[in-house]
Amino acid sequence: MTTFSRETRLWLGAMLCSLALASFDTHAAPQGKTDCIAPAKPGGGWDFTCRTTARALQELDLIPTGMQTINVPGASGGVGFSHVRAKRNNDDNLIVAASTATTTRLAQNRYSGGTLDQVRWVSALGADYGIIAVPSDSPYDDLTDLLEALEEDPHSVSFSGGDITGGFDHLKMLMAARKAGVSNLREIKYLAFDSGSVAITQLLGGHIDAFTGDVSEAMSFVENGDLRLLAVFSEERLPGELSDVPTAREQGIDVVAPNWRGFYIPGGASDKAYADWTDTFDTLYGSSQWKDIMEANGLLPFHKSGEEMQRFVEQQVNDIRELSETLGLVK
């Protein structure tokens, strides 16, 4: 019989224990304390993305400790983008909420010196479709009424959005107006705010006529009776309590405007961190808990990760730049 020294037996035991633990933990989790930057004030879509994702990751034990949400508002996401590049470029434990609004700004050169290849695009976890909303007592009964008013006088209807002028909120409203035959698109009044919640507050204060944003930003205001949705920019009607809201297509305006919700990580993050975050978000998206979150907040299935996400973002930036150039919106 072969005998081993005490040191050898201890080493073998440790190795067997490590192998046993590895067999039960196949998920490559980010290490250490994690942060999520929401590049806007609390209450908007990016803040929603960070906070709901952080809570789900913790409840599913996909991160080792709780995730802190850090709000870095300013320049409609530009301050947050610059902060990551300058201060946390090599941080493996940081994610940043992003969306179609982010790629729109990059396409239009709205982030000072910012380009899409300065960060690493890791995942999209659902699509939040665009909407046009008005106060519950608005004289506009449907999208047709509103667009007819714009066609008669582009100055007659003012819009608010949680986005810069020329951002995706602004663009989808302009696309709808162009499809309706409205001329002088640049004369339509659009007031940009730093988050959807602020834009809706201004709307409800009687200072604006309509809101152009996304479902998740408007849901709580719709549920308490303050807002009415005139149209949703989706291919088909949304499920659940929003099933009675007509699409723009149903009203003769062929515009579909999905706003993906997801994340990028710092450009200097390691390949291991990129792979770990990709794996983490794939696991999260496949969970029943995330499906419940999507259904409760009007998010529809839309998932891309890793290199596929990187290619998708590159194509979207190119497409938005082309559209924006036709409207004179590229800096």
Does the pLDDT value for residue 94 go beyond 70? yes
CA–CA gap between residue 231 and residue 156 (Å, rounded): 19
CA–CA gap between residue 124 and residue 233 (Å, rounded): 19
* Span 100-105, average pLDDT: 92
How many of the other CB atoms lie within 10 Å of CB of 80?
25
CA–CA gap between residue 78 and residue 60 (Å, rounded): 31
Q: What DSSP letter does each residue of 174-190 carry, written as one string?
A: HHHHHHTT---GGGSEE
Q: What Rg value do the Cα atoms of the chain yield, rounded? A: 23
Does the pLDDT value for residue 14 go beyond 60? no
pLDDT band at 32; cut points 50, 70, 90: confident
Please state the pTM of the whole predicted model.
Answer: 0.73
* Residue-wise burial string across 200-230, b where 16 or more C-beta atoms lie within 10 A, e elsewhere: bbbbbeeebbbbbbbbbbbbebbeeebbbbb
Taking only the tens place, the pLDDT of each residue in 120-146 is 999 999 998 999 999 999 999 999 999
pLDDT band at 70; cut points 50, 70, 90: very high
Taking only the tens place, the pLDDT of each residue in 224-275 is 999 999 999 998 998 888 899 999 999 999 998 888 999 999 999 999 999 9
Q: Is 112 exposed, middle or buried (0-12, 13-18, 19+ CB in 10 A)?
A: exposed
CA–CA gap between residue 138 and residue 135 (Å, rounded): 5
pLDDT band at 29; cut points 50, 70, 90: low
How many of the other CB atoms lie within 10 Å of CB of 57?
25
Report the pLDDT value the prediction gives residue 28, as an integer from 0 to 100.
Answer: 63
Q: How many helices (H) and strands (E) does the chain have?
A: 11, 11
CATH numbers and ranges of domains, the chain: 34-127+259-326 (3.40.190.150), 129-257 (3.40.190.10)
Q: Is 167 exposed, middle or buried (0-12, 13-18, 19+ CB in 10 A)?
A: buried
Which residue, 80, 78, 77, is CA-closest to 88? 80
pLDDT band at 3; cut points 50, 70, 90: low
Report the pLDDT value the prediction gives residue 238, as an integer from 0 to 100.
Answer: 87
Please state, rounded to an integer, the average pLDDT across all residues of the chain: 89
CA–CA gap between residue 52 and residue 70 (Å, rounded): 13
220 is written with which tokens?
A: 């709580």
Q: What sections of the chain are H helices per DSSP?
A: 6-24, 45-59, 78-87, 100-107, 143-152, 168-179, 196-204, 215-223, 271-285, 288-296, 306-326
CA–CA gap between residue 132 and residue 251 (Å, rounded): 13
Report the pLDDT value the prediction gives residue 8, as an integer from 0 to 100.
Answer: 47
Taking only the tens place, the pLDDT of each residue in 36-47 is 999 999 988 899
Phi-psi region of 314 (alpha: psi -120 to 50; beta: other; left: phi over 0): alpha
